[in-house]
Amino acid sequence: MDAYIDLTHPIEKDMPVFPGDPELEIVETMTLGKDSCTVQSIRFSNHLGTHLDAPSHFIEDGITVDEIPLETLIGKAIILDFTDKRKNDLITGQDVQRLLPSVTPGMRVLVRTGWDRNFKSGHFYEGFPCLTLEAAEYFVSLKIRLLGMDTPSPSPLDDPGQEIHKTLLGAGIVLLESVKNLILIKDHECELVVLPMPFKDFSGAPCRVVAK
């Protein structure tokens, strides 16, 4: 695979927003006809669309987006294929261990389910495949540095106490959520580039994500 594949959902009007987050607002503040240039004003949650969760999202004194090392965000990633999972299915620790019995510490892992096909269906946040706490703990035991997925979250929306997020982020694992097009990557490995907007002291940020 020589060409980069874009794994990013573009920020655009009418895109789905995580339940409870503020709605996306885009305003054309300057136009070519009136002002000889175009300028847009935008208001949105920092966890919109394809985005990154820094540990500070759930962990006291966890690092923020601007503190994440570039070495965490750029490099080889392993792709785990769970496209056999359906609505409301769980990805268990045994599932993960079957596909990833061991890994070099510091690696990046992408979980492919194909759920991104539902991004604009109105059902993206309903019943997506997600991890069990046991699976999250297994990823922690492997000492990976980044975990990405084509679902909106590694955990269900009603995860009690957000233990799955806290387990992963508490171990310093950066989370990359709502990527797309993992189905286009045919190999089990890729070169991954994740570039979040470096908002200082933020718990997360939209990203441009590409792979080849």
* Predicted confidence band of residue 110 (pLDDT cuts 50, 70, 90): very high
At 146-182, the pLDDT tens digits run 999 999 999 999 998 999 999 999 999 999 999 999 9
From residue 134, how far is each of 75, 92, 119, 171 by CA, in Å?
26, 6, 27, 14
The span from the CA of 52 to the CA of 208, in Å, is: 10
From residue 126, how far is each of 57, 71, 90, 157, 164 by CA, in Å?
22, 33, 13, 9, 18
Q: What is the pTM of this model?
A: 0.96
Helix (H) or strand (E) holding 139, with range, is helix 133-141
| pLDDT > 80? residue 2 | no
Pairing of strands 204-211, 174-177: unpaired
% of residues, the chain, pLDDT over 90: 98
Cα dihedral across residues 189, 120, 96, 99: positive or negative: negative
What average pLDDT does range 24-52 have in this prediction?
97
Specify the CATH class of 5-211 in words.
Answer: alpha beta
At 75-84, the pLDDT tens digits run 999 999 999 9
